[in-house]
């Protein structure tokens, strides 16, 4: 069983018991989260797809940790003008353990 959820402007394929790293969400370790923007659910070979979201379907999870990713160095350079700039960026993230996919999904059925 898996579901496709949307959070932080991105889409993630999640399964119960899986740990997913998503864009930073408010909360602390141990808090529960509910993803309501569920795009599709696959269960026992049947696929239910929303238009754009499945009504009444949620994905529940628990925050495992908040953190920052590795530093990405950005270097700007223009030839022959003595222009050089270097800076770094660390993207914040939230690790979420997916507990369950719940709800009565309605939508179009594809196989």
State the residue for tokens 């402007």. 9
- Domain of residue 16 covers 2-66+92-105
Q: What is the DSSP string of 55-66?
A: EEEEEEEEEEEE
Does the residue 38 lie in any domain? yes
Does the residue 46 lie in any domain? yes
Nearest residue to 14 (alpha-carbon basis) of 91, 92, 94, 97: 97
Assess whether the previous peptide bond of 52 is cis (omega < 30° from 0). Answer: yes
3-20 pLDDT per residue, tens: 999 999 999 999 999 999
Does the residue 75 lie in any domain? no
Does the residue 76 lie in any domain? no
Does the residue 11 lie in any domain? yes
Q: How confident is the model at residue 111 (pLDDT cuts 50, 70, 90)?
A: very low
77-108 pLDDT per residue, tens: 999 999 999 999 999 999 999 999 997 755 55
Does the residue 77 lie in any domain? no
3-state secondary structure of 29: coil
Give me the pLDDT at residue 108, please: 52
CB-based contacts of 81: which residues, under 8 Å, 6+ apart?
none
């Amino acid at each position: 069983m898996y579901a496709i959820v949307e959070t932080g402007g991105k889409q993630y394929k999640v399964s119960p018991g899986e740990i997913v790293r998503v864009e930073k969400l408010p909360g602390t370790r141990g808090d529960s989260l509910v993803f309501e923007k569920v795009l599709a659910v696959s269960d026992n070979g049947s696929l239910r797809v929303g238009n754009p979201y499945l009504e009444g379907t949620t994905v529940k999870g628990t925050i495992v940790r908040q953190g920052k990713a590795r530093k990405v160095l950005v270097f700007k350079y223009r030839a022959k003008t003595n222009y050089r700039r270097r800076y770094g960026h660390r993207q914040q993230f939230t690790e979420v353990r997916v507990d369950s996919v719940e709800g009565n999904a309605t939508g179009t059925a594809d196989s």
